[in-house]
Amino acid sequence: MRLTEAVAGRLEGWLDRLGEKVLRWDEAALEWVSTNSKLGKLEGLWLLATFLGDGYLWGLVALYLVVVGGPHEHRVVLTSLGVMMVAVTLFRLFKMLFCRPRPLELGQLPAGWVLDEQSFPSGHATAGFTAAYLISRFFPGWPVGLVAYTVAAIIGLSRVYLREHYPSDVVGGALLGTLVAHLMVPVFWQLVHYPIT
């Protein structure tokens, strides 16, 4: 019993120290990105990326595929919609579970800017990397994948630049989106191919 308590105590202490180091790194990286003068010259890009990352960009891609595509593209859109719904549900659940406050005070936001209070994981990064995975999987070829992942990364970086997320929130969202897409694509691909009657 004493051995178990000693091991648990050491593990808890190690995890606390690791958490403090990650938080210090997170805060330092946030400061570096959000105050970087070179990134500041691209402020319009970061604002546009955050706006498009709200789902407008991915919705436009889906709409384009529905309008100009055939049965294969329609199946891709339905599969992607199912995968994205799972990703959004999970990042919402994780936000409630972790309850990490955002780096900025919500009162600092411009008028009309709506933001929830939780920071981890980044919903923009989750959706962006889910979409990037889906696009690169269904439309293989390095140029398409490179563009999709570059756009997702710019959206994620915009969240840090605007101080709406810590870097680890974006990394967590990117990992969550990628993992959900990887696991759920086969499930929804089959459901769309074999509709339930």
* Residue range 68-87, pLDDT digits in tens: 888 888 899 999 999 999 99
The 3-state DSSP class for residue 142 equals helix
DSSP states of 2-55 as a string? HHHHHHHHHHHHHHHHHHHHHHHHHHHHHHHHHH-HHHHTTHHHHHHHHHIIII
**CA 196 to chain centroid:** 31
* Percent of the chain residues past pLDDT 70, beyond the cut: 84
Residue 96: both structure tokens together: 């409630």
Section 124-131 average pLDDT: 94
| Domains identified in the chain and CATH numbers | 2-193 (1.20.144.10)
* Least reliable range by pLDDT among 41-50, 100-109, 170-179: 100-109
* Least reliable range by pLDDT among 39-43, 59-63, 147-151, 191-195: 191-195
* Residue range 11-30, pLDDT digits in tens: 666 666 766 787 888 888 88
Q: What is the pLDDT of residue 16?
A: 65
Q: What is the pLDDT of residue 103?
A: 84
Q: What is the rounded CA–CA span in Å between residue 116 and residue 154?
A: 21
Q: What is the pLDDT of residue 24?
A: 87
- The percent of the chain in helix, strand and coil, each rounded to the nearest 5, is 80, 0, 20
The structure's pTM equals 0.83
> What is the pLDDT of the chain when averaged over all its residues?
85
Q: What is the rounded CA–CA span in Å between residue 130 and residue 175?
A: 9
For residue 115, pLDDT beyond 50: yes
Residue 186's identity, in one-letter code, is P
For residue 168, pLDDT beyond 70: yes
Residue 52's identity, in one-letter code, is L
Of residues 1 and 40, more confidence is placed in 40
